[in-house]
Amino acid sequence: MDVTEIELILDNLGYLEKQLSGAISRWRKNIKTCDWAVDYMSKGFLKGICKNQIEIKEIFGPLYSFLRTYIAIRNKRVAYTGKSLDKFFIRGLRAIQKYTVVSNFFAENPQYFFPNESLTNVKKFTKAQVSQQKYKEFIINLNERLIGCKNKLNFMFLGLLGTVKTPLSDELKDMKNYLENQCLFMRTKKLKFR
């Protein structure tokens, strides 16, 4: 069952990756400097995307690789045990955290997916607002399923990460805490949608 969830997540990620190309282009055209695009959790990769030094495939590639390998493990085509399994989940943590920072930025700035319209044309303005809200909700729902924030999911990444026996470095603990905090953040965002 979790394989079906992962396959749907992969499909949704593929759609989002295509949409992000245009959103990133609009973002780059609308900002004067990329210096602000650095915070502790992004490690500068938002700035790298902003300056066109990091391609979007560098964000999605490791995530696709992790999820496809997870499917292979579940289908018993690949076997990981002990430390190799720990390394695999840590690789997943890095990939999911990097993707989540980038996707959250664009969820908070959906005008880059569907530009704002002038209030002089109410119909176009309303359409833009509705489309922006749909992108925001799509990303938040996708991230919830990817991280494993919902109890009714079979794929619960944070739960799987809890099985890692290797002690996590401070950097990895911060990444894990970031993802855990995102679950709370996304719940509050979804309450505002209603």
- Do 9 and 100 meet the contact criterion of CB atoms below 8 Å apart? no
pLDDT in tens, the chain (194 residues): 688 999 999 999 999 999 998 999 888 888 877 777 666 566 677 888 888 888 889 999 999 999 999 999 988 888 887 788 899 999 999 999 999 999 999 998 899 888 777 767 788 888 888 889 999 999 999 999 999 887 666 778 888 888 888 899 999 999 999 999 998 888 777 666 55
- Please tell me what DSSP assigns to residue 112: G
- If you write DSSP's letter for every residue of 12-36 in order, what string do you get? HHHHHHHHHHHHHHHHHHH-S-STT
* 90-116 pLDDT per residue, tens: 999 999 999 999 999 999 889 988 877
- If phi over 0 gives left and psi between -120 and 50 gives alpha, with beta otherwise, what is residue 150? beta
d(CA 26, CA 120) in angstroms, rounded, equals: 22
- Do 178 and 25 meet the contact criterion of CB atoms below 8 Å apart? no
CB-CB neighbours of 131 under 10 Å: 16
Measured between alpha carbons, how far is residue 40 from residues 47, 64, 94, 106, 171 in Å?
Answer: 12, 24, 14, 17, 10
Give the residue carrying structure tokens 């955290």: 97
Q: What is the reported pLDDT for 143?
A: 93
- Do 115 and 102 meet the contact criterion of CB atoms below 8 Å apart? no
d(CA 154, CA 18) in angstroms, rounded, equals: 27
d(CA 86, CA 75) in angstroms, rounded, equals: 19
- Which two tokens mark 134? 């749909």
